[in-house]
Chain A
Amino acid sequence: MVAARHDPASIPARLRAAAEAAGFEARLLCGAAGHEPPPGIRLFQPFADGTFLAEAEPGHDAAELSQNDSDLLRRLARWLADWPPDIVHLHDLSPFGMEFLGLLRRTCPRARLLLSLTPELAGRIGILGPPRGFLHQAPLRRFLAEATLLLPCESLMAPCLAFGLDPSRLVLEAGLPPEAAPCPLPPTGRFLVVAAFPGDAAGHALMAATAALMAGCPRAPILDIRSPEEAAAALPGAHLALLPGADPEGVARLARAMGRPVLTAAEVAMNPTALAHLLLDFTEAPERVAAMAAALPPPDRNAEAAAFFARYRAWAADPARIAPPARI
């Protein structure tokens, strides 16, 4: 079963299809997010057989990640009892709250619970950013301890450990997001390079020096320096992705999936002058960039899905994934 935050109308049916092709029977459960159920109905199916929407009471505060709607929880419990899943992959927590994890553990004690921990969700929990109070964090930590957390980037690992989460339940899983698909290059009048790097001093110095060298040139490219988490949002408007150092965050993979050539400065030991020359050359000859972009192969979703479902199987066979937490 997949619990997702995205609009089910746009969730690719291929996700379910891929799951079923891999031998899984899959159901999709989403927050209603604007879709109105018939009166008195809380769980409904406006789209397809395996896709369910759940509507929480008005007033449910998704930002708190706590579900006070006991009626919805009762209905979800019945729904789960009717079709107890082996694996539940929560792509988000906000439509259902931490109570849903507890409910899953009670009603489906053998189910492996997976939660995709995005940086945005980590921020709301208090894993990233300013710490939240003990009374907010402790119950969340307790229920997160029931799940295996899939981290999209390595930089989340340390904050998760500092938050007190069990390292054996943290898995780096930098899968491509569903929206990562090739998209057209922007017009060339304003050449944009998204530079994503994890903040190392050497990479930063290289970027600063390169930008300084290009500053006097009339058609210098714009260097848009972003964190790995911000890169995905900036890439559609860029011509190139530039990685000054190593890429543990999957930015290069994401950029290629979106049809953006990737320059990895560290791999070719570039100095600022060489990098500045290269970027100016690309600016002068944008057709080279377009040719490189066109040559990029589209992401192999099927292979990716197959690899992911193989991991589902491995987790489903691992009893440690359902062992009660020792610390909360």
Chain B
Amino acid sequence: MPETLHPPFAQSLRFSPRAVARSESANYHQGEDIRLHLVVRGHEGRPCLIVNDCLGGQWGEELRLPLTPEEALSPRVEVAFTGGGILVQILGEAPVAFRPGDAPPQALLPRHGPDVTVGPAALPAESGTADAPVTGDGVIEAAAGLPGTGHRLLVIRLADAGLEAALVEAATPMRLRDAKGPGTAAAASFCALPGGGLLAAIPSPGETAITGAELLPPGRPPLHLSPARGLAEAPRPMPAEFVNRLAAAQGPAKREMERLLARGFTGRETLSWLSAPVRLRVARGLRTPEGLVLQGWLHDPQGAVRTIRLRAGEQAWPLRPGAWLDTMAWDGEGGRGFLARAPVPVRLGEAWLDVTLASGESGTLPLPAPESAELPALRAILAEAGAIPDAALDHAFGSVLGQPLVALNRQRLAREMAVEQHAFGSPPAAPRASLVIPLHGRLDMMAAQMALFTACRMERDEVIFVLDDPPRRAAALGLAQSAFDRFGMPLRLILPGEARGFGPASNLGMRHAKGEVVVFLNADAFPQGTDWLDRLVEAVAEPSVGAAGARLLYPDGSLQHGGMVLERGPGGWFFPEHPGKGLRPPEAAHGLRDVEALTGACLALRREVAERFGGFDEDYVIGDFEDADLSARLAEAGLRRVMVDTATLVHLERQSQGRADEQAGRWNLTLLNAWTYNHKWKRG
């Protein structure tokens, strides 16, 4: 039976290593009613400590404190119930005053999850914010930056009540101290708080924790202030809390402080304070090495907005006009979708949007927690872009989406990744050719492919499947074993730790290949002639040939691929096209036939060439254009790209990708890759 606790008290809570995944919580009850709720869980892709209270009988606004990956492993939180409010502190960070001024109930019953360990807290809870004892010349009860204004706000209490009254009347120099030492003195303004104490505003940009201050009243010795209740650093409440405190404050500086709070970022949305009906909603923020990509909706029926800027501290970057793309999405309430990019990788917790009207008024909007830089987030952004008009493609990808999404993809691929390899049967030690086949979405084609390979005299060749779909690991292992058992042909299965797309999966297979020739093959390409591989191997034996491709047919016998050409498409960009696609195939050329480009669905290269060129360029996301790019690089090096018309396969084009890839955004992914190709080869 948990013990009833009576404020003031403090507890240290240690959550289990899997707390975030399990959304573990700790609650403090008054009777059967929850009064304080803490939970560690993911929020918009990031682990957070989320705190909410029901002190007044109604749930308030959630306080979300992002957790670093290290903190998320085993979150440690200290909670102090004081006479004047609640302090919450993630271990190692400054305490946050939560609902200062709202006294907690006199008796609380802790009800924590079974894996939450409770211990003694270092956070003192002897007294509340309102009646913190004054030690020395005075104490700092709270201090926090007011982003966007270059000011900090403080709550201080002096030993000399007469001096407090004098300071309200005139600005007085003050010098703040942080871990680096004392800063520059600046004129601070003061308002009197009911019950004693002062609310101070001082020009002082930055977000570092305040460890002390010197008050320099003219004609008097300096007064040394230290954090209240013996803390090393002054508690740092959300700026919004100062809004509440200022409402009850008095003094000539109150108007100036109100203007400061209206201009600065208080952590809350202040767009509703604007005179024009502007509604801005940011649904998603993606932090990439090439900047921040935001997706949301803007409702501005009067056209009142002049600029929208991303701000972080004292810096600002214009989004609109500039790096802003209106999309065809509507939020159902009149808001039009947008995508925007700030070219700096700011931390979302420290940045906000600053909306300025033509009238000069400005308001702020906090940003959501960033999404993890993973493929689903990239896909979601592209899906939200909807149908982009041809005329807007250059702007959409050149100014907004291209660089950050490619950079995000690079960042994703740069991570270390575990790779397993399984062999079924005994592949040849020194194979003639290595077939590299990425698997994604549809695994059922593996068995059909292996069945057909058995007719192709491939005893000297090796087959390497690369599972670019880790959730299907167990199924792939079972199918590979079954294919070997049923058809008696050895194969290898490479199991990377994450899905990375066609190019990276093919390159991974290439790095495991031992054959003199590497054949990149789609999982939905099936031999029709039994000598297709012999013919491709013969073709690439010619030193002038960089790559050879096979004739690919649809199951009805019509042509799918007989070589590619680059033709102008949407936006004037070049896209690879398959001449004669869907028509009856022309008579096969007897020898090698030179073409501009070859598809990656079936592409043979000498391994030496494949390795020299590094396989496919991995900047192309998921799969598209990497074959045209490799063809362009071979051409640049003076190597031929040839079709071997007499090597024939059936290609169920794009069916190997499975249904997941049919979702919205697939075309925009193609456009992203088209932009990358055209940007790289300056063909747009």
Interface residues of A (CB under 8 A from B): 66-68, 70, 73-74, 98-99, 102-103, 106, 134-135, 138-139, 142-143, 145-146, 324-328
Contact = CB atoms under 8 A, between A and B. Distances in A.
Interface residues of B, number: 24
B35 to A, nearest CB: 58
A134 B652 contact: yes
Contacts of A324: 455, 457, 530
Interface centre among B444, B448, B527, B650 (most CB of A within 10 A): B448
Nearest to A74: B485
B529 interface: yes
Interface in B514-547: 526-531
B271 to A, nearest CB: 55
B528 A139 contact: no
B253 to A, nearest CB: 78
6 A-B pairs with least C-beta separation: A70-B485, A139-B451, A134-B555, A99-B486, A328-B455, A135-B448
B447 A134 contact: no
B485 A142 contact: no
Contacts of A67: 486
Interface in B479-517: 481-482, 485-488
Contacts of A142: 451-452, 454-455
Contact of B530 (A70, A103, A328): A328
B445 interface: yes
Given A139-B451, A328-B455, A99 B531 contact: no
A327 B445 contact: no
Contacts of B452: 138-139, 142, 328
A145 B447 CA distance: 18
Contacts of B531: 326
Contact of B447 (A106, A139, A143, A146): A139
Nearest to B454: A102
5 contacts: A142-B454, A324-B457, A325-B455, A327-B529, A328-B452
A81 to B, nearest CB: 13
Given A324-B455, A325-B455, A328-B455, A138 B448 contact: yes
Given A138-B650, A326-B531, 16 more contacts: A66-B486, A67-B486, A68-B486, A102-B486, A106-B488, A134-B650, A134-B652, A138-B448, A139-B448, A139-B451, A143-B451, A324-B530, A325-B530, A326-B529, A328-B527, A328-B530
A319 to B, nearest CB: 17
A146 B531 CA distance: 16
B64 to A, nearest CB: 49
Contacts of B652: 134
A325 B555 CA distance: 19
A142 B555 CA distance: 14
Contacts of A145: 455
B485 A102 contact: no
B486 A70 contact: yes
A327 B448 CA distance: 15
Contacts of A328: 452, 455, 527-528, 530
Given A99-B487, A138-B526, A145-B455, A68 B482 contact: yes
A135 B445 contact: yes
Nearest to A141: B452
Nearest to A140: B451
A324 to B, nearest CB: 6
Contacts of A99: 486-487
A135 B451 CA distance: 10
Interface in B429-484: 444-445, 447-448, 451-452, 454-455, 457, 481-482
Interface centre among A68, A102, A103, A138 (most CB of B within 10 A): A138
Contacts of A134: 526, 555, 650, 652
Given A135-B445, A138-B526, A73 B454 contact: no
B161 to A, nearest CB: 87
B5 to A, nearest CB: 60
Interface centre among B451, B527, B531 (most CB of A within 10 A): B451
Interface centre among A134, A143, A325, A327 (most CB of B within 10 A): A134
A95 B302 CA distance: 76
B659 to A, nearest CB: 15
A89 B175 CA distance: 100
A102 B451 contact: yes
A36 to B, nearest CB: 24
Interface string B544-555: 000000000001
Nearest to B648: A327
A73 B486 contact: yes
Nearest to B450: A139
Contacts of B485: 70, 73-74
Contacts of B448: 135, 138-139
A103 B528 contact: no
Interface centre among B445, B454, B486, B527 (most CB of A within 10 A): B486
Contacts of B447: 139
Given A70-B482, A138-B650, A102 B488 contact: yes
A324 B481 CA distance: 26
Nearest to B488: A106
Contact of A103 (B445, B455, B488, B526): B488
Contacts of A66: 486
A218 B399 CA distance: 92
Nearest to A164: B528
A60 to B, nearest CB: 12
A103 B445 CA distance: 20
A98 B485 CA distance: 13
B607 to A, nearest CB: 27
A66 B486 CA distance: 9
Nearest to A72: B485
A146 B452 CA distance: 12
A145 B527 CA distance: 14
Nearest to A98: B451
A238 B679 CA distance: 80
Interface centre among B444, B482, B530 (most CB of A within 10 A): B530
Contacts of A143: 451
Nearest to A137: B555
Contacts of B457: 324
Nearest to B652: A134
B454 to A, nearest CB: 6
A113 to B, nearest CB: 14
A328 B448 CA distance: 12
A103 to B, nearest CB: 7
Nearest to B455: A328
Contacts of B486: 66-68, 70, 73, 99, 102
A65 to B, nearest CB: 12
Contact of A135 (B444, B455, B481, B482): B444
A325 B456 CA distance: 9
Given A134-B650, A134-B652, A327 B451 contact: no
A5 B486 CA distance: 21
B530 A326 contact: yes
Contacts of B451: 98, 102, 138-139, 142-143
Contacts of A70: 481-482, 485-486
A287 to B, nearest CB: 59
Contact of A327 (B481, B488, B528): B528
Contacts of B488: 102-103, 106
Nearest to B447: A139
A220 B637 CA distance: 87
A70 B483 CA distance: 9
Nearest to A134: B555
A74 B488 CA distance: 10
B212 to A, nearest CB: 74
A90 B529 CA distance: 26
Nearest to B442: A135
Interface in B629-684: 650, 652
A318 B555 CA distance: 32
B490 to A, nearest CB: 12
A70 B482 CA distance: 7
A146 B530 CA distance: 12
Contacts of A139: 447-448, 451-452
